[in-house]
Amino acid sequence: MLKRNVYLDHNATTPVASSVRKTMNRVLKYYWGNPSTGYQKGKNAQQIIEKARDQVAQSINAHAHEIYFTSCATESNNSILKTLAQHFYPSKRKIITTPIEHSSVLKTLDYLKNQGIIVEFCSVDQNGFISISELEGLIDDDTFLVCCMLANNEIGTIQNLKEISEITKKRDILLMSDCVQAFGKIPIDVKELGLDYATFSAHKLYGPKGVGAIYAKISAPLSSFIHGGGQEEGIRGGTESVHNIAGFGKACQSVPDLLSHLQKTQTLRDHFLKLLKDIKSDIVVNSPLDNGLMNTLNISFPGIKSKELMMMLDYHGISVSSGSACSTHSPKPSHVLKAIGLNDQQIFETVRISFGINTTISDLNYTIKTIKKFISDTQLNSQ
């Protein structure tokens, strides 16, 4: 078999689109002025930032002045959670969240627990969906925030945020959502969803690494997280990464195009699953096929160690991951798969495959052939 290069880990990161690269190169060449300076060179750079702010805002139906640029979604999540805790504590102390949030939320909440914040978890079912009635029951007078991701990075579950926001609005509680994985994969309208805060990252959207954003509804409290020169309306000090921000804006312009690929992605997913079941009928699909991200397949391979499968796929030029990329540094089993009820053995037999706009049928056929050969070799060796 001819070795190919097949990238099937788009939930970890995406390649930078050529239109984004072109925009960034132009900014690096011509717009290197400091946006905080008052002369033309600085003003030109500031204009680039404001154009990108408009582009990000438009792609999620927000106003430009509701968008703040950060260095990544991890920073965005930290900023909102920590400054809100500071804002409300001690008059209100409780945050309600889910056990399947990204570590940038969960680790921040761990930190806040040590500062006196009460964190309560709304459990999820075997597909990763939270129980709305349980959530409602957890809300009390001490609660100031519900924090629930829109789409999960490991299994792709899409939560019903509209339903959640109807409850938070009724109870006068703020709602924050990590929308990193949903962006460009499902339509996002922050007003329609009823969000007070949302977080985003450019590199999951064919944009550059090193730039993220916060959406904060006009009336929602937000205070300075990085103190410095007063950039980003004083919310985030530090000279802006103008080329990254411009790249983020350009990437957002492609959102309608990305969304128009959904049908194709579904066809690829169904094709891949069918072929996979033909070669290994006992695979378990941990991703919800209804109300889940179309590009995300989290699959357990009973009897096959995911580490060995991944290494073999990598040897053949195919990139997939186990759980989330961020968790590959830690030997602990995925907290998401644990939360949906998998035991340690099942977790270590699980891989995540995530398609992108450039994934082709022939990429998937090659991947299937490679897995098939691995399975038959493994069976031969164990005889």
Catalytically active residues, by annotation: 326
Decide: residue 91, CB within 10 A, 0-12 exposed, 13-18 middle, 19+ buried. Answer: exposed
Q: Which is closer to ligand PLP, CB of 294 or CB of 304?
A: 294
At closest approach, how far in Å is the CB of 36 from ligand PLP? Answer: 24
Rg (CA), the chain: 22
Q: Based on CB atoms, which residue is closest to ligand PLP, 212 or 356?
A: 212
The residues binding ligand PLP (CB under 6 A) are: 72-74, 102, 104, 149, 153, 178, 180-181, 201, 212, 324, 326
CA angle at 150 for the pair 145 and 155, rounded to the nearest 5°: 125
Nearest approach, Cβ of residue 327 and ligand PLP (Å): 9
Which residues pair with residue 213 across a beta bridge?
69, 200
Q: How far is the CB of 265 from ligand PLP (least distance, A)?
A: 18
10 Å CB burial of residue 343 (0-12, 13-18, 19+) is exposed
- Is the Cβ of residue 110 or residue 377 nearer to ligand PLP in the bound state? 110
Considering all CA atoms of the chain, what is the largest pairwise distance in Å, rounded to the nearest integer?
76
Pairing assessment for the beta strands 296-300 and 350-354 based on DSSP bridges: antiparallel
90 prior amide bond cis, ω within 30: yes
Q: In terms of CB distance, is 102 or 217 closer to ligand PLP? A: 102
What pairs with residue 151 in β-bridges?
158
The Cα–Cα gap between 275 and 270 comes to 9
